[in-house]
C-alpha cells in the first residue's frame, strides 16, 4: 500500500469532486486533465480497497465510503488552504488568484470597468471574472467572491454591503407620446409591460411614497401586466424600452446613464416598485474564519467604487 502522505493529493481531489459533482469542474479547479483525475481516483480506490465513486455517462456520485472519506478530510484541507493564505499575506503586497462572479448587467456596467484601477494598485493579484445571471453555489464552484443584487445575503456567507439600489419604472419619450403616460399603477394593465423572465404570471407591486399616500399608512397595489417581451437580463429590457417596445422595471445601475441623457423617463415617480429586484448590492463569500488578503483588498476597492453610485 502507498504511504498515506503520497495519497494526500488524491484525497484532496476526492474532496473537490464532492464539492463540484463533476469530473470536468474538478479537473478545472485543480488544473488537471480529466484523464489525470480519473487516474488519481483509480489509484486511491486501489489503495483503500473500496469503490469511492459511482461513474455514469452523465453524472458522478460518491459512494458511502467516498462520502465518508471526503467529509472527514475536507476540513483539514480547508484549514491548510487558510493557513497558506494567512502566511502568504505576511509577504507584503497582496497576490494570488481571486475567482469572482457577478450578474451579467452589473458585472459589465460597474464591476469590470472598475478593475483597471484595481490592477494598477495591486499588480500581483489576478482575477477570473465570470458573469452569469444563474445563481451559482460559490463553494461548490470554487468562487472566492460574488457580487450580488439581492434583498439579504445568505446567513452562511460573509457579506459586505457595497451600496443601496433602487428599482425604477421607465419608458421612452416616444412610447409615452404614442401610448400615453400612466398616472396610477392600475393604468399599467393596459400598457405594453416588459417583464423580467420568471415562472408564472407577471405581477408588479408598488407602494406609494408618503407624499402620494397623504397619510401615515403606506398604500400598496399589485397589478397584473403583460407585453411583447420578457427577458432575464436588465440590459436587454433597458434596450427594449429605449427602442419604444414598452415600459419596464429595471435596476438603477442599468437605467442611470440613459436617464441622465434624457433617453429614458421615469414613470410613476410617486410610486416605488417593490419586491422585484434587490434593494442593495453586496460582495459576499462562503463563511470562513479567514478572508484572504487579495479578497479583502478587492472588496475594499469595490466598496469605494460602488459608493459613487451607478456607473455612467
* Average predicted confidence (pLDDT) for the chain: 88
- β-partners of residue 158 are 285
Indicate the fold that domain 4-89 takes in CATH. Answer: Arc Repressor Mutant, subunit A (1.10.10)
Rounded average pLDDT over 41-68: 83
Return the CATH architecture of domain 167-274: 3-Layer(aba) Sandwich (3.40)
Tell me how far apart the alpha carbons of residues 8 and 196 are, in angstroms, rounded to a whole number: 47
SS3 sequence of 74-127: HHHHHHHHHHHHHHHHCCCCCCEEEEEEECHHHHHHHHHHHHHHHHHHCCCEEE
- Statement: residue 211 has pLDDT above 70: no
Is the distance from CB of 303 to CB of 233 less than 8 angstroms?
A: no
CB within 8 A of 142, min separation 6: which ones?
Answer: 19, 20, 25, 29, 99
Superfamily grouping for domain 96-165+279-306: Periplasmic binding protein-like II (3.40.190.10)
**Average pLDDT in the 302-306 region?**
94
Q: How confident is the model at residue 2 (pLDDT cuts 50, 70, 90)?
A: low
Confidence band of 183 (pLDDT split at 50, 70, 90): very high
Q: Where are the domains of the chain?
A: 4-89, 96-165+279-306, 167-274
pLDDT band of 213, cuts 50, 70, 90: very low
pLDDT of residue 129: 96
Element (H, E) at 62: strand 60-62
**Neighbouring-strand partners of residue 249:** 169
Read off the pLDDT of residues 96-131 as tens digits, 9 standing for 90 and up. 899 999 999 999 999 999 999 999 999 999 999 999
Amino acid at each position: 500500500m502507498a504511504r498515506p502522505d503520497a495519497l494526500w493529493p488524491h484525497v484532496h481531489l476526492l474532496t473537490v469532486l464532492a464539492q463540484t459533482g463533476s469530473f470536468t469542474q474538478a479537473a478545472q479547479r485543480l488544473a488537471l486533465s480529466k484523464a489525470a483525475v480519473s487516474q488519481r481516483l483509480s489509484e486511491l480506490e486501489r489503495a483503500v480497497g473500496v469503490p469511492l465513486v459511482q461513474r455514469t455517462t452523465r453524472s458522478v456520485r460518491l459512494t458511502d465510503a467516498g462520502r465518508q472519506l471526503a467529509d472527514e478530510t475536507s476540513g483539514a484541507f480547508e484549514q491548510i488552504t487558510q493557513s497558506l493564505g494567512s502566511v502568504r499575506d505576511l509577504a507584503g503586497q497582496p497576490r494570488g488568484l481571486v475567482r469572482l462572479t457577478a450578474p451579467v448587467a452589473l458585472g459589465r456596467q460597474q464591476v469590470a470597468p472598475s478593475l483597471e484601477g484595481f490592477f494598477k494598485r495591486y499588480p500581483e493579484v489576478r482575477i477570473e471574472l465570470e458573469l452569469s445571471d444563474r445563481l451559482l453555489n460559490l463553494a461548490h464552484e470554487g468562487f472566492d467572491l460574488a457580487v450580488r443584487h439581492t434583498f439579504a445575503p445568505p446567513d452562511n456567507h460573509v457579506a459586505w454591503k457595497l451600496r443601496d439600489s433602487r428599482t425604477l419604472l421607465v419608458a421612452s419619450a416616444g412610447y409615452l407620446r404614442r401610448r400615453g403616460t400612466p398616472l396610477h399603477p392600475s393604468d399599467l394593465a393596459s400598457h405594453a409591460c416588459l417583464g423580467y423572465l420568471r415562472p408564472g404570471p407577471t405581477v408588479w407591486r408598488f407602494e406609494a411614497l408618503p407624499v402620494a399616500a397623504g397619510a401615515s399608512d403606506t398604500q400598496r397595489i399589485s397589478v397584473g401586466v403583460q407585453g411583447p417581451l420578457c427577458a432575464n437580463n436588465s440590459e436587454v429590457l433597458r434596450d427594449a424600452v429605449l427602442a419604444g417596445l414598452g415600459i419596464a422595471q429595471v435596476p438603477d445601475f442599468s437605467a442611470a446613464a440613459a436617464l441622465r441623457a434624457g433617453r429614458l423617463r421615469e414613470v410613476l415617480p410617486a410610486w416605488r416598485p417593490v419586491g422585484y429586484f434587490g434593494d442593495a448590492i453586496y460582495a459576499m463569500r462562503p463563511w470562513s474564519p479567514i478572508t484572504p488578503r487579495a479578497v479583502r483588498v478587492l472588496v475594499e476597492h469595490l466598496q469605494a467604487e460602488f459608493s459613487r453610485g451607478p456607473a455612467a
